[in-house]
Amino acid sequence: MTGHHFSLAEQPLVALPSGALHWPSQHLLCVSDLHLGKSERLARRGGALLPPYEIAETLTRLDADITATQPATVICLGDSFDDPTAAQEMTEVHRLWLLRLMAGRDWVWVAGNHDPEPVTLGGCNRAEWQRGPLRFRHIAETGATGEISGHYHPKARLKGRARPCFLLSRERLILPAYGTYTGGLWCDDPVLSGLLTAPALVILTGAQCLAIPLLRPNTAPCKP
C-alpha cells in the first residue's frame, strides 16, 4: 500500500494517504479523531446543520484501509465519537457496519476528551495503550518518547489548499484527524511546534503522502 515510510523508536511505520497509520510488522492499523456523529451532535445542541453523511464517509475510508492492510489490531486513538451520546445514537446501519469492521480483530478504544466514557460496542477501552516501544494516547505529553497521539488535528497548506497532516519528530508522531467533519490546527502553531524537536517533518495526506520539513514559527510559515 502506498504511503510514507519512516521509523519511530526503531519501528518501521507507514503514514497512509488517508490519515491512518500502519505498523506492518505488528499487523496494526491506527486512526485518530474520527468524531463520528458530529453532525448529529451539532443538530442536537442547536448548532450548525451539516449534511448527515460524515459517518458513512468516514467508515467508507476506514473500511478501505482495513481491507488494504488486513490488521489484526485496530487502535482508535480517542475522540472516536463526537460525544458519548453520539456513540449511543448511531443508526442501525452504521452500528452494524462498524461491528463488521471490528469482527475478528482486536479493537482498542483509547479515551479522548470528547468521548471519555467507555464505548459499549465491544473491543476494549483504555486510557492509553502500549505495544513494544510505542505508546498510544490521545494527547501528547511533554517529555514522552516513542509516543503516538492525535487530538490536535494538524493541517498544512499545499498550493493554497488545506490538507490534514502527520507531524513527526524523533520522539513522537501526531496523527491527523481521520473524521470527515473536523477542523484543525496549523502545523506551524507554537502549540504543535513546541511538542516537536527539530528536525521534524510534516507528512501531508491526500492522493499521496508528501513529506516536507516543519519550519519553526518566526522563520517561515508551513505553507509550501
pLDDT at 4: 97
Class level of CATH domain 4-213? alpha beta
pLDDT at 38: 58
Task: Give dist(CA 104, CA 150) in Å, integer.
Answer: 25
Place of cell 460525544: 83
Task: Report the predicted TM-score, pTM, of the whole model to 2 decimal places.
Answer: 0.89
Q: Are the C-beta atoms of 161 and 193 separated by less than 8 Å? A: no
pLDDT at 185: 92
Which residues in 46-98 belong to E strands, given as ranges?
73-76
Residue 47 falls in which region: left (phi positive, over 0), alpha (psi -120 to 50) or beta: beta
pLDDT at 162: 87
Task: Give dist(CA 152, CA 140) in Å, integer.
Answer: 9
Task: Give dist(CA 92, CA 58) in Å, integer.
Answer: 16
Task: Give dist(CA 13, CA 4) in Å, integer.
Answer: 8
Task: Give dist(CA 128, CA 217) in Å, integer.
Answer: 30
Going residue by residue through the chain (224 aa), what tens digit of pLDDT does each one get?
A: 689 999 999 999 999 999 999 999 999 999 999 988 755 554 445 555 455 568 889 999 999 999 999 999 999 999 998 777 777 778 899 999 999 999 999 999 999 987 778 888 899 999 999 999 999 999 999 999 999 999 999 999 888 788 999 999 999 999 999 987 677 899 989 999 889 998 999 999 999 999 999 976 544 444 43
Q: Domains of the chain: which residue ranges?
A: 4-213
pLDDT at 216: 60
